[in-house]
Chain A
């Protein structure tokens, strides 16, 4: 019999996990929505964000600088990748895009090994977010709650940016109809670069949030990208609100399944995903 405390702590832990998936999926789905590129290298960029957070934190001791540094550096990394490489494969068969971004992933992974070594690194949880609330035998740390809140704020910010600002309106124009928006004087190329900057900056934020919570090593992105794709595809490609709900649902379902059927948790999760896609190939919330 599961008591309420256990259920609650499992729920919060699931929301935390879901929020990390969401932050990872947010940039991925934003980039796909506008540019129609499935960026396989997205998680590798996120992990680079973790490493940059680590380096800045170790040398300055400041979380704020480390977080900002990771966000900006990853944004720039994404933008440079778009300008130098991705730009050449717009409109081509998705296979070329996957191959190219997979190649970028390999380069980024190897570069991580060269710069930061093969061992694992982490940074401690920020002082003011240490400790937590006891829910039964489990301490739900403030940091866990912090990540859930940041995830929600990111959703609000993206929603506001896309739907309520002039820049967002232009972005939506390029998103919906690149040809017509070009006729109206918008240069889609600039917006593609912008969206790669934004999506990768969100990955940088994810990386910064990740490294105090888990341990980071080279190639961690390869493990994360699979779940990010599951979230994005289940939600419906390019659907931002849908991705948020799906990510949280996956996090919570997984967490509760771990409690009930620890042997089969992931099997059941994949089974549910497969069933959903059989019934709704366009995803739960539809493509945008």
Chain B
């Protein structure tokens, strides 16, 4: 049957009318938490023409360490990005546009890789980056690249405090918690422990130095009676920590703080056990001790100090106990065979941040998209992330916990301690 214009309009009017009545009825009948969703659907249905992106694909460049001893971190970033992209594409993409990912190794001259992602691959966004130094390098040229950059692991506070807040590089964002987690929150854990003398072993690079400095400053304020009696600075790529441990054990420290991470942390923990460190130190704080590579590698050998081996990460899979997080962990496990590493979650969240921003801005114009991200609230596996407008840092909380062996595939955590993010994050104007 052929429709003439009049019939078509009639049908359309009936359809729209029915839709509105149905929606209104549904709206009245549904419980309150669903209403938000219904409202969005109504808006989408009435203005279909404008809500499309100018391209059929949204290309996202993903940078991570993909070679050498830390290659497993690039893999974590890739797993989170892939899972988010697969989910989004399975549900019709972002406003109908498919998400495509392009992976590059940040170890192979990160500035060159970032430029190629934009100039050759034509990406619309860059996400990822493990190393703080690399994040600062790409962050430094972000206005030239003219694409939003969402950092999902590198932790230097300078990225958001200096580049975004002070220098006004508005295209930079970060979905992972910065060094506040390692330096400041760790001090909140340390203040409650009945020990006074602390030693520190941290990497001889920006991240290691800043975490130890923030830890000392914060703990001294919270507990003026503490002393910092020894410190060691192994270089990046240290394969044997024995000389450093031996030197630390010569001090009269009662507890140990470390922000050493990844494979180096596995070695450090094993050598601490071997050399009697866990007899001497009553408490150990390991700021990235619950990174999944470390938890899986040490497994049942993960040492437990008398007053606890306190560990954290930039997301831990068993917190918060929400259905969103549980479903994410289950999906991740069935997709990749392992529990999600923190940078998988932070990258997963970054891809969804892009989706949310594009759906709001309905354009790929970088400034408009960045504007849409500012102040955004995003429901993610790690909880609600608020993209703080001043520094573009995602504000959310990650707890510390004590390593506990309960026969699971990785050690679990007891006594989870969370402090509201607003308390331990530094705030603008960062003085």
Contacts and interface: CB of A to CB of B under 8 A. Distances in A.
B202 to A, nearest CB: 11
Q: Pick from A124, A125, A139, A141 the residue with the most CB of B within 10 Å.
A: A139
| Majority secondary structure, B binding face | helix
A219 B247 contact: no
Interface stretch (B20-28, B66-74, B109-117, B415-423): B66-74
B243 A220 contact: no
A177 B243 CA distance: 43
A197 B123 CA distance: 49
Given A144-B242, A259-B247, A217 B274 contact: no
B301 A124 contact: yes
Contact of B246 (A113, A124, A214, A255): A255
Interface size class of B (residues with CB under 8 A): 35 or more
Contact of A223 (B67, B69, B75): B69
A20 B242 CA distance: 13
Contacts of A10: 243, 246-247
**Which of A121, A213, A223, A258 is packed against the most chain B CB atoms within 10 Å?**
A258
B246 A262 contact: no
Contact of A266 (B235, B239, B274, B280): B235
A10 B68 CA distance: 30
Contacts, number: 120
A132 B274 CA distance: 8
A219 to B, nearest CB: 4
Interface stretch (B7-15, B263-271, B354-362): B263-271
Given A120-B293, A259-B243, A262-B244, A214 B267 contact: yes
Of A9, A10, A120, A220, most B-chain CB atoms within 10 Å: A120
Contacts of A20: 240
A220 B69 contact: yes
A215 B242 contact: no
Interface string A123-141: 0110000001010111111
B412 interface: no
A254 interface: yes
Contacts of A143: 274
A218 B71 contact: yes
B250 interface: yes
Interface stretch (A11-19, A74-82, A87-95, A167-175): A11-19
A258 B263 contact: no
A134 B271 CA distance: 15
A215 B244 contact: no
Nearest to A7: B250
Given A9-B246, A119-B296, A137-B249, A113 B71 contact: yes
Nearest to A266: B235
Contacts of B235: 266
A198 to B, nearest CB: 25
Contacts of A262: 231-233, 244, 247
B237 interface: yes
Q: Which of B71, B75, B247, B264 has the most CB of A within 10 A?
A: B247
Interface in B238-284: 239-240, 242-247, 249-250, 262-264, 266-267, 270-271, 274-276, 279-280
A136 B250 contact: yes
B410 to A, nearest CB: 13
Contacts of A3: 250
A176 interface: no
A138 B67 contact: no
Contacts of B74: 118
B75 A122 contact: no
Nearest to B338: A119
B263 A120 contact: yes
Interface size range on A against B:
35 or more
A9 B275 CA distance: 10
A6 interface: yes
A255 B240 CA distance: 11
A4 to B, nearest CB: 11
Nearest to B73: A118
Interface string B274-317: 11100110000000000001001100010000000000000000
Interface in A238-281: 254-255, 258-259, 262-263, 266
Nearest to B76: A118
A120 B274 contact: no
B320 to A, nearest CB: 27
Given A119-B72, A263-B233, A138 B275 contact: yes
26 contacts: A6-B246, A9-B246, A9-B249, A10-B246, A14-B243, A118-B74, A120-B72, A120-B263, A122-B266, A122-B270, A124-B301, A137-B280, A138-B245, A139-B274, A141-B275, A143-B274, A215-B263, A217-B69, A219-B67, A219-B68, A258-B232, A258-B243, A258-B244, A259-B247, A259-B250, A263-B233
Given A138-B249, A217-B71, A220-B69, 12 more contacts: A118-B75, A120-B69, A120-B266, A120-B297, A122-B270, A122-B297, A138-B246, A138-B276, A213-B240, A215-B270, A219-B71, A259-B246
